[in-house]
Amino acid sequence: MREHLRSLGILGGTFNPVHLGHLRLAEDVREDFGLDRVLFIPTNIPPHKEMQHSAGPDDRLRMVEEAVGGNPGFACDDTEIRRGGRSYTIDTVRCLYRRYSFEEKPCLLIGSDLFPELHTWKDIQELAGLVELIVLVRDGYPVENGMHSGIPQLRAHLFEKRHLDITSSEIRERVLRGKSVRYLVPDGVYQYIMRKGLYT
């Protein structure tokens, strides 16, 4: 029997590693859009970018589990890592539709840096009919109000209330150079990185 949800947010990514910027933005979106839950879905192999200085899929999954634990509005989903291979959003969304019943279309959260290439995504026309888009505006990647994706049926919302200057690449670089990443990642994630010797 499928679990019933009124509304769901989908936040995929490499989470290499997950950090406080991911969590705070997801919490803002969850509250502002009235979402029952935000699913954090670590990518197995991203189709559109190279994974540099990457923790393995299992380590990235464990860090996300550590980060979202204790927030009933968040959950970690291992669909893409269990499926293996390259992770395509449409395959994940189809899986979620088999697992849940929705009163509203789920909301797909993406960064504004990804918005210009959206038309290149696998089966984008089908995806556009299954989700609404929430575009998280990132510094250096502005998106105009009245943005146009070139995908007629895609309904998109712009979210630019909060800008947190934290990136996973900065965290990896700081660990590599022996600098502190406390207060950039949740404490449990910090302890995991140190314990496993990731990014060194």
Quickly list H helices, the chain. 20-32, 57-68, 79-83, 89-99, 124-130, 168-176, 187-196
Q: Is residue 169 part of a domain?
A: no
Residue 164 backbone dihedrals phi, psi, to 5 degrees:
-110, 125
Does any domain span residue 197? no
DSSP 38-64: EEEEE-SB-SSS---SPPPHHHHHHHH
- Quote the DSSP letter at residue 36: S
The angle formed by the CA atoms of residues 185, 66 and 37, to the nearest 5 degrees, is: 100
Q: What pLDDT sits at residue 144?
A: 67
Predicted TM-score of the model (pTM): 0.94
Report pLDDT digits (tens) over 43-89: 999 987 777 678 999 999 999 999 999 899 999 999 999 999 999 99
What CATH number corresponds to the domain at position 46? 3.40.50.620
**Structure tokens given for 14:** 């490499």
- Check if the beta carbon of residue 7 is closer than 8 Å to that of residue 33: yes
- pLDDT tens digits for 140-164? 788 765 555 667 778 889 998 887 7
- Look at residue 15 in the predicted model and tell me its pLDDT: 97
Give a yes or no: residue 121 inside a domain.
yes
Asked if 75 contacts 40 with a C-beta cutoff of 8 angstroms, the reply is: yes
Round to whole Å and give the CA distance between 184 and 73: 21
Residue 43 lies in a domain: yes
Within 10 angstroms of residue 148's Cβ, the number of other Cβ atoms is 10
Query: Where in the sequence is the domain holding 136, given as residue range(s)?
Result: 3-164
For 86-131, the pLDDT digits (tens) are 999 999 999 999 999 999 999 999 999 898 889 899 999 999 999 9
- Residue 55: inside a domain, yes or no? yes
Inter-residue contact 103 to 5 (CB < 8 Å):
yes
As given in the structure block, the two tokens for residue 72 are: 């009933």
- Establish if 160 belongs to a structural domain: yes
Q: Per the structure, how many domains does the chain have?
A: 1
- How many other CB atoms sit within 10 Å of the CB of residue 5? 18
* Domain-embedded: residue 103: yes
